[in-house]
């Protein structure tokens, strides 16, 4: 009979390209993963891996086993979730992936309350870009992810993943209190066309939205400084080095030196979504995480 634990190790090797990387992802030692694969090869009666340079690749038989075995692992996940639902037990290990501001504004308070309420539950957090969070849920690498999509650009969510909208998170233009626009409640993208911007790096979703916001102005945003962290953006704006577009969720207090301005035409708003696989729909642990994320969202809104 095929060892499903060993099958999970083989799938991890396929995803990560080496035994060492798979072991790191699974929380095992490389020796343990190698032994599992050898046991699986003995059970199957065929070689499942071949060495290529310093890495390994699946043989044809290994590829067939991983592809067909994905259904077995999904069925096992569904059985485990239904068993926990029957016993109404909030227990086990839930891996939660979040983008950075959701980590601060949602995941931190959510996880604290979950651990206090359910001593048999373990939650592991990781910071991931939204598209990576979707992919990690889809491939079984995490149980739950919080992702976002800006404006009218929807997230691409596979059929076997459930997406539940938490709400909408606006971004504000952050300026110093002595800025000429600081006294206005809101501004348009055209009002901001001549600003020096503090922005996230090229390729990030927030940078893409800043560029899209300028489409109607006939200009590209003039980027003065780059940083991945919005707290750094606030520090740079406070120092008089530019203007920043910062989402409300997870935003640090502005203090007396900074002002948040609403932006219109277009309004920079992102939709925040929580995702999990359909096979986990009956899991009390996943349900508890999703429900607590909703409560955290309501408190932060």
| 76 confidence band (pLDDT: 50, 70, 90) | low
123: closest CA among 89, 145, 93, 146?
93
Query: DSSP letters along 227-249, please?
Result: -S-HHHHHHHHHTTS-EEEEEST
Query: Assign residue 281 a region: left if phi > 0, alpha if psi is -120 to 50, beta otherwise?
Result: alpha
In the block, which residue shows the tokens 């577009």?
A: 245
Alpha-carbon 101 to chain mean position: 10
Both 39 and 98 in one domain: the answer is: no
Tally of domains within the chain: 3
How far apart CA 254 and CA 221 sit, in angstroms, is 23
Per-residue model confidence as pLDDT tens digits over 147-162: 999 887 778 899 999 9
Do residues 222 and 195 make contact, with C-beta atoms less than 8 angstroms apart?
A: yes
Which of 56, 84, 112 is where one domain is finished?
Answer: 84
- Classify residue 50 by burial, with Cβ atoms within 10 Å: 0-12, 13-18, 19+: exposed
Q: How far is CA 293 from CA 3, 107, 146, 165, in A?
A: 35, 7, 9, 11
169: closest CA among 240, 272, 246, 72?
272
Both 9 and 125 in one domain: the answer is: no
Both 143 and 279 in one domain: the answer is: yes
pTM: 0.77
Per-residue model confidence as pLDDT tens digits over 235-265: 999 999 999 999 999 899 999 999 999 999 8
Both 155 and 198 in one domain: the answer is: no
Both 173 and 260 in one domain: the answer is: yes
| 92 confidence band (pLDDT: 50, 70, 90) | confident
Domain that holds residue 294: 86-167+271-300
Higher pLDDT, 61 or 149: 149
Task: Kindly tell me if the per-residue pLDDT of 86 is higher than 60.
Answer: no
Which of 84, 108, 130 is where one domain is finished?
Answer: 84
Task: Kindly tell me if the per-residue pLDDT of 95 is higher than 90.
Answer: yes
Quote the radius of gyration of the chain (alpha carbons, Å): 23
Task: Kindly tell me if the per-residue pLDDT of 206 is higher than 70.
Answer: yes
Both 60 and 145 in one domain: the answer is: no
User: Strands, E, within 114-250: which ranges?
Assistant: 121-127, 144-150, 161-176, 186-188, 196-199, 222-226, 243-247
Average pLDDT, the chain: 88
Task: Kindly tell me if the per-residue pLDDT of 15 is higher than 80.
Answer: no
Do residues 96 and 128 make contact, with C-beta atoms less than 8 angstroms apart?
A: no
What does the pLDDT read at residue 94?
94
Both 16 and 59 in one domain: the answer is: yes
How far apart CA 280 and CA 77 sit, in angstroms, is 7
Both 153 and 172 in one domain: the answer is: no
Higher pLDDT, 2 or 201: 201
293: closest CA among 61, 109, 86?
109
How far apart CA 41 and CA 240 sit, in angstroms, is 63
Which of 21, 51, 84 is where one domain is finished?
Answer: 84
What does the pLDDT read at residue 10?
78
83: closest CA among 280, 295, 298, 300?
280
- Classify residue 62 by burial, with Cβ atoms within 10 Å: 0-12, 13-18, 19+: buried
Do residues 184 and 211 make contact, with C-beta atoms less than 8 angstroms apart?
A: no
Residue 60 sits in a domain of what CATH number? Answer: 1.10.10.10
Dihedrals φ, ψ of 51, to 5°?
Answer: -80, 135
Both 181 and 244 in one domain: the answer is: yes
Residue 98 sits in a domain of what CATH number? Answer: 3.40.190.10
Both 70 and 106 in one domain: the answer is: no
Residue 237 sits in a domain of what CATH number? Answer: 3.40.190.290
Both 224 and 135 in one domain: the answer is: no
Dihedrals φ, ψ of 11, to 5°?
Answer: -65, -40
Both 94 and 176 in one domain: the answer is: no
């Amino acid at each position: 009979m095929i060892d499903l634990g060993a099958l999970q190790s083989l799938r991890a090797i396929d995803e990560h390209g080496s035994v060492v990387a798979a072991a790191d992802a699974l929380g095992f030692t490389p020796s343990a993963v190698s032994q599992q694969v050898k046991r699986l090869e003995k059970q199957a009666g065929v070689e499942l891996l071949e060495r290529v340079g310093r890495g390994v690749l699946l043989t044809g038989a290994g590829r067939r086993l991983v592809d067909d075995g994905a259904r077995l692992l999904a069925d096992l996940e569904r059985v485990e979730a239904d068993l926990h639902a029957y016993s109404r037990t909030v227990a086990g290990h839930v891996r939660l992936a979040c983008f950075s501001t959701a980590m601060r504004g949602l995941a931190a308070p959510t996880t604290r309350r979950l651990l206090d309420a359910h001593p048999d539950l373990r939650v592991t957090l990781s910071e991931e870009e939204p598209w990576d969070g979707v992919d990690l849920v889809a491939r079984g690498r995490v149980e739950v992810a919080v992702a976002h999509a800006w404006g009218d650009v929807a997230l691409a969510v596979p059929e076997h993943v459930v997406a539940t909208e938490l709400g909408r998170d606006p971004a504000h233009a952050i300026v110093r209190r002595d800025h000429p626009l600081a006294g206005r409640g809101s501004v348009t993208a055209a009002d901001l066309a001549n600003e020096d911007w503090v922005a996230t790096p090229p390729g990030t979703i927030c940078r893409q939205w800043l560029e899209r916001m300028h489409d109607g102005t006939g200009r590209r945003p003039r980027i003065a400084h780059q940083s991945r962290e919005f707290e750094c953006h606030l520090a740079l704006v406070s120092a008089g080095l530019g203007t920043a577009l910062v989402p409300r969720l997870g935003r640090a207090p502005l203090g007396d030196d900074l002002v948040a301005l609403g932006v219109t035409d277009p309004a920079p708003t992102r939709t925040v979504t929580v995702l999990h696989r359909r096979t986990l729909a009956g899991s009390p642990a996943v349900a508890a995480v999703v429900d607590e994320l909703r409560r955290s969202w309501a408190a932060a809104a």
